[in-house]
């Protein structure tokens, strides 16, 4: 599925603001660690930064600093961490981040860890516009129906006295940014809004940031005041228009649901454009790293958790749950199958209904079609696992592995008590409990000898019927 890709530019640095308290989330988990597409919002934004900014990358943390810092280091060990305490606004946060930038002399983009949907191409356009127009500051803007609480972008007016407009991608001369609480009635009527995403020259910002004041309705240091400072120095400022969904932020659980919906819609569209058939797109759930090949068919109500790679020509039937798995080309999964982390299916594998696979390798052409659990196992090519088979991998203290060779036939309702190995071409009789290794080509059966008592069932039914009739008469 296609994603925007750009080579990182060493002359671009990134500052990611991740210090907010997120009180409206009503959560013990820091807001920026809440997931979109099964990936923390912070990681979405850090991935965007790492894909574009080859210069320093800085994450500003505050609320939940320990957890956020740990998540940031896990995703991008090269990123520097700066603690904002106390939190006195976006300008104050960027002032602290600039200390970590050292003498960096390129451009700096400021991103927000709770705004995870910005396409890389949109950010590249912002960077290109700033350089092309020689602007000291470039801001990403969007149009939002009134009334709303976003800051307003006040741009140059045309001859008729109207604000300059334009379609997505339009570059507009920017005069100033006014926070919503500081707007005059005329400014409040402007629909062109500030996303908060800003790009500026490092040298200009290094000199301008100490000039910010907190003389405003919130008593905070606004990063947006850099626009007026840039214009005062003759550097100019521009705004780039983008779609509102690109810069949709998360402040509440309701916002999180909206952003998740936008993310899923985009991934579904990308899958369809990439040659995947989604039989019911609205019921298919993708993770941020889901990788589907060409000619994959996905049935309704399929969940792709993190770490899923599906080869060409695979069919995933309805109501399947996949997470941390690889599915080889031409395989069939489901319906109602669960593939857990570590499942690795070779080419042409069949995994059927109500089958669970965990931390197991299935060789090419293997079949596990019904009501079966295969965990901590290696299953050889062309092996057939009968219905109701279980690999008993846990002894109450440790996990053990089951080794099954190629061309093995395992009969239905078999328990394979690990550690155990079945040799190539072995045959396991139905209903067996296997606790010892089975040599190649051997038959192994463990069940009580069958006994048949002629006429027993007829006599049993007659006796029980007589007892029932006697009860009714009594």
For each successive 10 residues of the chain (474 residues), what is the average pLDDT?
62 96 94 98 97 96 95 96 91 93 94 97 94 94 85 73 65 89 88 94 94 85 92 91 95 97 98 98 98 98 98 98 98 98 98 98 98 98 98 96 98 98 98 97 93 95 94 84
Residue 6 has a pLDDT of 60
Q: What is the pTM assigned to this prediction?
A: 0.90
Residue 162 has a pLDDT of 52
Residue 165 has a pLDDT of 60
Torsion angle of C-alpha atoms 147, 153, 157, 162, degrees rounded to 10: -10
3-state percent helix, strand, coil for the chain, nearest multiple of 5: 25, 30, 45
Q: Computed from CA positions of residues 464, 468, 469, 470, in that sequence, does the dihedral angle turn out positive or negative?
A: positive
Q: Which two tokens stand for residue 75?
A: 């995703």
Residue 158 has a pLDDT of 54
Residue-by-residue DSSP string for 264-309:
HHHHHHHHHHTT-EESSGGG-B--TT-EE-TT-EE-SS-EE-SS-E
Residue 161 has a pLDDT of 43
List the one residue out of 325, 388, 386, 313 whose CA is nearest residue 359: 325
Of 133, 321, 370, 400, which residue is the catalytic one?
Answer: 370
- State which H helix or E strand residue 132 sits in: helix 120-132
Examine the residue annotation and report whether 370 is marked as an active-site residue of this protein. Answer: yes
Bond prior to 147 in cis (omega within 30° of 0):
yes
Angle at 234 between CA 233 and CA 240, to 5 degrees: 110
Residue 163 has a pLDDT of 54
Which residue is listed with tokens 């109501």? 319
In 147-250, where does DSSP find H-type helix? 185-188, 202-208, 226-232
List the one residue out of 329, 320, 325 whose CA is nearest residue 308: 325
């Amino acid at each position: 599925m296609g994603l925007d890709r750009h080579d990182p530019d060493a002359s671009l640095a990134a500052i990611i603001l991740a210090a907010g308290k997120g009180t409206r989330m009503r959560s013990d988990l820091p807001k920026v660690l809440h997931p979109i597409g099964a990936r923390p919002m912070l990681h979405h934004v850090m991935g965007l930064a790492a894909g574009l900014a080859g210069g320093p990358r800085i994450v500003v943390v505050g609320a939940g600093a320990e957890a956020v810092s740990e998540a940031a280091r896990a995703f991008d060990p090269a990123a520097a961490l700066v603690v904002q305490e106390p939190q006195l606004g976006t300008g104050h946060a960027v002032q602290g981040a600039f200390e970590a930038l050292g003498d960096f002399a390129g451009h700096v983009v400021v991103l927000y860890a709770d705004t995870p949907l910005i396409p890389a191409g949109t950010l590249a356009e912002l960077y290109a516009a700033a350089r092309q127009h020689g602007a000291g500051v470039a801001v990403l803007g969007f149009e939002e129906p009134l009334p709303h609480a976003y800051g307003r972008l006040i741009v140059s007016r045309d001859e008729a006295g109207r604000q300059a407009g334009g379609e997505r991608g339009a570059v507009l001369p920017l005069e100033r940014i006014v926070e919503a609480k500081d707007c005059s009635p005329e400014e409040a009527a402007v629909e062109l809004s500030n996303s908060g995403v800003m790009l500026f020259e490092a040298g200009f910002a290094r000199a301008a940031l100490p000039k910010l004041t907190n003389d405003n309705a919130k008593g905070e240091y606004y990063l947006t005041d850099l626009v007026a400072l840039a214009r005062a120095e003759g550097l100019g400022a521009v705004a780039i228009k983008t779609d509102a969904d690109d810069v949709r932020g998360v402040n509440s659980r309701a916002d999180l649901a909206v952003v998740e919906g936008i993310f899923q819609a985009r991934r579904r569209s990308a899958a369809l454009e990439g040659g995947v058939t989604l039989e019911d797109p609205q019921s298919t759930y993708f993770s941020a790293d889901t990788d589907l090949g060409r000619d994959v068919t996905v049935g309704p109500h399929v969940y792709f958790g993190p770490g899923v790679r599906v080869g060409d020509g695979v069919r995933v039937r309805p109501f399947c749950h996949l997470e941390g798995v690889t599915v080889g080309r031409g395989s069939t999964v489901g319906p109602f199958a669960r593939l857990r982390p570590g499942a690795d299916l070779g080419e042409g594998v069949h995994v059927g209904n109500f089958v669970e696979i965990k931390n197991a390798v299935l060789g090419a052409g293997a079949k596990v079609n019904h009501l079966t659990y295969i965990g901590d196992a290696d299953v050889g090519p062309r092996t057939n696992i009968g219905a109701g088979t279980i690999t008993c991998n846990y002894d109450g203290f440790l996990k053990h592995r089951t080794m099954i060779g190629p061309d093995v036939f395992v009969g239905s309702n078999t328990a394979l008590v690990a550690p155990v190995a079945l040799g190539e071409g072995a045959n396991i009789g139905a209903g067996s409990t296997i606790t010892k290794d089975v040599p190649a080509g051997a038959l192994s059966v463990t069940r009580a000898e069958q006994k048949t008592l002629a006429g027993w069932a007829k006599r049993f039914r007659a006796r029980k019927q007589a007892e029932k009739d006697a009860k009714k008469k009594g």
